[in-house]
């Protein structure tokens, strides 16, 4: 069976034509940032870095949810796992991320009840099956994930589930892009904007950042044709000096995004400041539960207020997320830090820049 | 974390749909989507369908791209 919209978007003749076209555009050195971790994975998997002209450098931005999770939040997850009565539920990538003293994998090996789930809904099922336990979900995600949390909390409330909470370390994309643009030393000539975050937010969510910084920006999907097309548009915009905000993924993304998902998200969550690994606090870049949903807030229920802590010495994840360094420039890369013995989250997550470099080079 | 592959809805039971990706079926919540029906292609993220794929747009994008690229190569 052919996979709908997949084979067509992997057409190698079309890809070759796109590469040729990219090569034909006269451009100076360009630094393009793919913001989303899924783009990073796809770019490596399809060998896109190796077929681009050498003038084009691709940087992996702050769009891998595990990679941007602050150390203090990882410490909080470890603390939850240590509570007697708690079943800690999480997406898989998080469990190997080292906190200040331990990781979830280590706690699990020592007997903590840490369970990997595919969807936050599964966490609620676990809560229903274990009424005498407290089930906490580690919520690290972007605009794509936050509505799924909101929908789950609404249905948990309807079902009268009392032993399910989330610890919210959720993050929003546009404020992070603005923070990057404000950071000294950051030099980016164009953004490849995340496809599935944009499915929810719509093209309009980037309008403010785009207008303020006038930086070439293209929303695109995850197949080779999608990514090459975005690169071509960014290269052309740089060549003509006419930046634009372009939606190159119209089969999934609209101007205003998924209104139903946004409504549900805003019913349950409100804006808050958030700590990003290596970047620090970014105002209104996170989402926390509204007061009326406090019963689902693990931080409140368990009185968990973790202090800010410093990140592992020598780990350059923060600078890598901002495009200031590449993994190879990190002194620990491939030495002290490998996927088996990760020092920072960028080496843990399959979407992380260091892990991708390690795997494909 | 995102599954970028479009999934086809083959059954709907209240707020849960069964989707098929290349012969593998999976349950997916459709709480975040308006008017989904059997036969639609959706993008699934962490157990939730988050977007319907616009078939006309999908084909249009490819056609536009082909036209632009072949116009260039015939000029060259
Ligand atoms: S190689 Fe390891 S230590 Fe260095 S930046 Fe990447 S994750 Fe951090």
> Could you give the C-alpha distances from A286 to A69, A122, A213, A319, B28, in angstroms and in order?
11, 24, 22, 20, 26
> Could you give the C-alpha distances from A268 to A150, A164, A289, A296, in angstroms and in order?
6, 15, 6, 10
Interface confidence, given as ipTM, is: 0.88
Report if residue A6 sits inside a domain.
no
Q: For residue A344, what pLDDT band results from cuts at 50, 70 and 90?
A: very high
User: Which residues of chain B are within 8 Å of residue A138 when distances are taken between CB atoms?
Assistant: none
Cβ–Cβ of B69/A18 closer than 8 Å?
yes
Ligand 1 centroid to residue A277 C-alpha, Å: 12
Q: For residue A194, what pLDDT band results from cuts at 50, 70 and 90?
A: very high
CATH code assigned at B21: 2.30.30.140
Rounded CA-CA distance A154/A302 in Å is: 21
Q: For residue B1, what pLDDT band results from cuts at 50, 70 and 90?
A: very low
Report if residue A56 sits inside a domain.
yes
What distance in Å separates residue A260's CA from the closest CA in chain B? 6
DSSP, res A1: -
Which domain range does residue A249 map to? 29-314
Bridge partner residues of A243 (DSSP): none
Note whether A326 and A242 are same-domain residues.
no
Do A99 and A88 form a contact (C-beta atoms < 8 A)? Answer: no
Note whether A247 and A333 are same-domain residues.
no
Rounded CA-CA distance A331/A318 in Å is: 14
Rounded CA-CA distance A121/A141 in Å is: 15
Query: Looking at the partner chain, which of B4, B8, B29 has a beta carbon nearest the beta carbon of A222?
Result: B4
Query: Looking at the partner chain, which of B8, B34, B48 has a beta carbon nearest the beta carbon of A151?
Result: B48
* Pairing relationship of beta strands B7-13 and B41-45 according to DSSP bridges: antiparallel
What is the number of domains present in chain B?
Answer: 1
Which domain range does residue B36 map to? 6-74
- Identify which of A318, A346, A349 to mutate to test ligand 1's pocket (most ligand atoms within 8 A of the CB): A346
Report if residue A200 sits inside a domain.
yes
How does pLDDT run across A281-296, given as a tens digit for each residue? 999 999 999 999 999 9
Mean pLDDT confidence for B29-57: 91
Report if residue B22 sits inside a domain.
yes
Ligand 1 centroid to residue A222 C-alpha, Å: 25
Note whether A310 and A321 are same-domain residues.
no
Q: Quick check: A268 contacting B, CB < 8 Å?
A: no
Residue with tokens 């555009």: A25
Q: What is the side-by-side order of every strand in the sheet holding A190-193? A: A56-60, A30-34, A190-193, A217-219, A245-247
* CB within 8 Å of A329: residues ≥ 6 apart: A316
User: Please, is A314 exposed, middle or buried when counting C-beta atoms within 10 Å of its C-beta (0-12, 13-18, 19+)?
Assistant: middle
């Amino acid at each position: 069976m052919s996979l709908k919209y997949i084979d067509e978007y992997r057409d190698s003749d079309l890809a070759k034509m796109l590469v040729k076209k990219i090569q034909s555009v006269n451009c100076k050195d360009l630094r393009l940032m793919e913001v989303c971790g899924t783009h990073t994975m796809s770019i490596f998997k399809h060998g896109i870095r190796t077929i681009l002209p050498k003038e084009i450098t691709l940087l992996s931005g702050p769009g891998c949810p595990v990679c941007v999770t602050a150390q203090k939040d990882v410490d909080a997850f470890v603390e939850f796992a240590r509570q007697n009565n708690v079943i800690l539920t999480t997406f898989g990538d998080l469990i190997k991320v080292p906190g200040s003293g331990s990781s979830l994998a280590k706690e699990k090996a020592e007997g903590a009840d840490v369970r990997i789930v595919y969807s936050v809904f599964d966490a609620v099922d676990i809560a229903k099956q274990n009424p005498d336990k407290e089930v906490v979900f580690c919520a690290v995600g972007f605009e794509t994930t936050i509505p799924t949390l909101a929908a789950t909390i609404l249905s948990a409330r309807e079902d009268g589930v009392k032993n399910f909470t989330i610890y919210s370390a959720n993050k929003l994309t546009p404020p992070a892009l603005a923070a990057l643009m404000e950071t000294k030393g950051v030099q980016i000539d164009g953004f490849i904007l995340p496809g599935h975050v944009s499915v929810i937010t719509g093209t309009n969510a980037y309008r403010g950042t785009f207008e303020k910084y006038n930086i070439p920006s293209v929303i695109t999907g995850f197949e080779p044709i999608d990514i090459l097309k975005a690169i071509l548009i960014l290269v052309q915009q740089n060549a003509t000096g006419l930046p634009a905000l372009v939606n190159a993924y119209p089969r999934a993304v609209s101007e205003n995004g998924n209104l139903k998902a946004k409504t549900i998200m805003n019913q349950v969550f409100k804006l808050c400041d958030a700590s990003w690994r290596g970047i620090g606090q970014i105002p209104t870049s996170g989402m926390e539960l509204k007061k009326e949903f406090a019963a689902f807030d693990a931080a409140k229920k368990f009185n968990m207020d973790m202090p800010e802590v410093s990140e592992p010495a020598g780990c350059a994840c923060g600078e890598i997320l901002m495009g200031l360094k590449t993994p190879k420039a990190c002194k620990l890369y491939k030495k002290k830090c490998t996927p088996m013995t990760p020092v920072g989250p960028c080496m843990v997550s399959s979407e992380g820049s260091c892990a991708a470099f390690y795997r494909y080079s | 974390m995102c599954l970028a592959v479009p999934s086809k809805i083959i059954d709907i039971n209240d707020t849960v749909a069964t989707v098929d990706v290349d012969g593998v079926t999976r349950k997916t919540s459709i709480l975040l989507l308006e008017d989904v029906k059997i036969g639609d292609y959706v993008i699934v993220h962490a157990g939730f369908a988050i977007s319907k794929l616009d078939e006309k747009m999908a084909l249009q994008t490819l056609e536009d791209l082909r036209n632009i690229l072949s116009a260039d190569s015939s000029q060259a």
